[in-house]
Chain A
Amino acid sequence: MKALEFSGVCFSYGESERPAIEKLDLSVEEGEFVALLGHNGSGKSTLARLANGLLTADSGQISVFGRPIDGKNLFGIRRDVGVVFQNPDSQAVASIVEDDVAFGAENVGLPREEIGDRIGFALRAVGMEEFRTATIARLSGGQKQRIAIAGVLALRPRIMILDEATAMLDPRGRREIVEVVKKLNEEGITVLMITHFMEEALLASRAVVMNCGTVAMEGTPSEIFERHEELLKYNLVLPRIGYLCRRLREGGIRVSDTLDIGTLAKEIASCVS
């Protein structure tokens, strides 16, 4: 089943502005892990906001699990599609972790006991149970982002969209988030991850490159990274390891287009010894 489907979607921020999304067709299957790449201003974030009805498309249709988004079902759509944003410091609405995680669940009017259970479930899922009564301001960036994810999880969404959720974190924070997201995906949540870190895209089952508000490239991450000339055209670069492989091949060392460090080392070793 298609978890998310855009067909012929157009959107612009103002009458005179260049359209941010232009005739976009994209579908994400249930359970997929899709990485969404593209330079600044290519329309990635607009897409995320359209997907849960924060923005309304000018034309075309967006469906979530077969239900087209319209003005009347926004509440339900937002329970299905959770979005985590970039800035760890601007997403908390409460000062204590459990209050913050409960906010969404309270907002949709769940019974009190149920909310308690869901806070427990969500905090367990992101590995933050022991911080249930902690003060958010005293957490690290990675921890704050995990709380933001927990807040979304408390609504038991079926799709999770991460809009550069790791951009403001240090490498450790980034690893924390990536691990949580991978685990959630394995447990069945559909993931759409918007990122500038090409290395993160390697975790996805499919990568989509956006340019000028529409899909420019699509395929498995390794397929995408094989087309490096085309990536450059869209102002993207290869992950460093992809660049190394290419240069090694140009220099006559026959390595495959692997994106795994261990594999590459073995290939180099077998070639040079």
Chain B
Amino acid sequence: MRIVVNHLNYIYNDRSPFAVQALKDVSFTIEHGEFFGIIGHTGSGKSTFVQHLNGLIRVPSSLKRKPIKGDMTELRVGEFDLTSKKTDFRALRRNVGMVFQYPENQLFAETVFEDVAFGYRNFFDGKPEKGQVESAVREALGIVGLDYETVKNVSPFDLSGGQKRRVAIAGVIVTHPEVLVLDEPAAGLDPLGKQEIMRLLHRLHGSWCKTIVVVSHDMDEIAENCTRVAVFAEGTVKYVLPPRELFHHSEELLSLGLDVPLTAKLCLELEKQGVHIDCDYTTEDFLRKVLALGKGGTVC
């Protein structure tokens, strides 16, 4: 599903003294099959934006009728026109899975099985058969790396932090959404838990969920994984670029107060020393390029 955004604006507490414009004329496209990253400060509009993607925030009809700057707001996810009131939002949400920040806070059921099954039953047209539910839950727990037989009857609250998070993700992907949106999926986990979550996203990407949209503060993660990245700043989109081009703008990103990956910082420092490294900012490519330079010159 291709996600098309044109001239999207959003104002919290519109027409009140507390009005804050969270999105200002946001336009870009996320292609089918991308592993798309969204970065920016807290308060830059990232979360407001991703909540639009499954209709949790609707495009106010007033904006549609009276568009800002005379341009029509457009927001499409595949076939779904999110500016239209007639859109089947239930079908949309089945196709666009949303994993919020700290999703483990939303676990609620008595057993892992029930928690994961809830999403499946909720989005099923009619009443699913017992066997259907069971195989869906088994499959979802399997892909997030939990053993069905061991965890199905365990209370989700008795699991470790990383396991809880994976149960919560299983509860979202159990409907096989085509697009999976995750708001800081690795925040607050220990280093190994972080790695596990990133590996999980790679397992899901392309097969289970065609498109992945991930909001992250971790630039190294972004550089290693994303096909393209949108940079949000104060409600606008500053760049939409693949990491290899985006981090050419490292100095601008740093001046926006954003972080850049370690590889980009090293490239900047090396540039000062007169060494130019042209890499795509993944750790492996950086190492390859530096080592190649070493072999060409005199290695000490």
Interface residues of A (CB under 8 A from B): 39-41, 86, 140-141, 164, 167-168, 170-173, 196, 198, 235-237, 240-241, 243-244, 247-248, 251-254, 261-262, 264-266, 268-273
Contact = CB atoms under 8 A, between A and B. Distances in A.
Given A40-B162, A248-B287, A270-B300, A171 B259 contact: yes
B299 A244 contact: no
Interface in B190-219: 190-193, 195, 217
Given A170-B42, A244-B262, A254 B300 contact: yes
A262 B269 contact: yes
A268 B275 contact: yes
Contacts of B255: none
Contacts of A164: 188
Interface residues of B, number: 40
B161 interface: yes
Nearest to B287: A247
Contacts of A269: 270, 273-275
Interface string B258-294: 1100100110011011110000000100110011011
Nearest to A254: B300
Given A41-B160, A272-B275, A237 B187 contact: no
A238 to B, nearest CB: 9
A251 B300 contact: no
A173 B41 CA distance: 10
Contacts of B297: 272-273
A40 B161 contact: yes
A262 B271 CA distance: 11
Nearest to A263: B269
Interface string B124-147: 000000000000000000000000
13 contacts: A167-B188, A196-B188, A243-B283, A244-B286, A247-B283, A248-B290, A261-B262, A262-B269, A265-B270, A270-B300, A271-B299, A272-B275, A273-B274
A235 B194 CA distance: 11
A240 B263 CA distance: 9
A271 B293 CA distance: 9
B220 interface: yes
B44 to A, nearest CB: 10
A114 B293 CA distance: 64
Nearest to A237: B191
Nearest to B161: A40
Contacts of B161: 40
B187 A167 contact: yes
Nearest to A247: B287
A173 B42 CA distance: 9
Contacts of B189: 40, 196
Contacts of B220: 240
A-B pairs with lowest CB-CB distance, top 7: A265-B269, A269-B273, A251-B291, A237-B191, A272-B293, A167-B188, A171-B259
A235 B273 CA distance: 36
A5 to B, nearest CB: 27
A206 to B, nearest CB: 20
B257 interface: yes
B195 A244 contact: no
B60 interface: no
A40 B258 CA distance: 28
B57 to A, nearest CB: 20
B67 interface: no
A235 B300 CA distance: 34
A41 B164 CA distance: 14
Contacts of A266: 269, 273
B49 to A, nearest CB: 16
A227 B297 CA distance: 31
A252 B187 contact: no
Contacts of A41: 160
Nearest to A271: B300
A39 B190 contact: yes
A251 B294 contact: yes
A240 B283 contact: yes
A240 B262 contact: yes
B294 A253 contact: yes
Nearest to B265: A261
B283 A170 contact: no
A168 B187 contact: yes
Given A248-B290, A269-B275, 15 more contacts: A170-B41, A171-B259, A172-B41, A235-B190, A236-B191, A237-B192, A240-B262, A240-B283, A244-B262, A251-B290, A254-B299, A265-B270, A265-B272, A269-B273, A271-B294
B165 to A, nearest CB: 11
A40 B266 contact: no
Contacts of A265: 266, 269-270, 272-273, 275
Contact of B262 (A168, A173, A241): A241
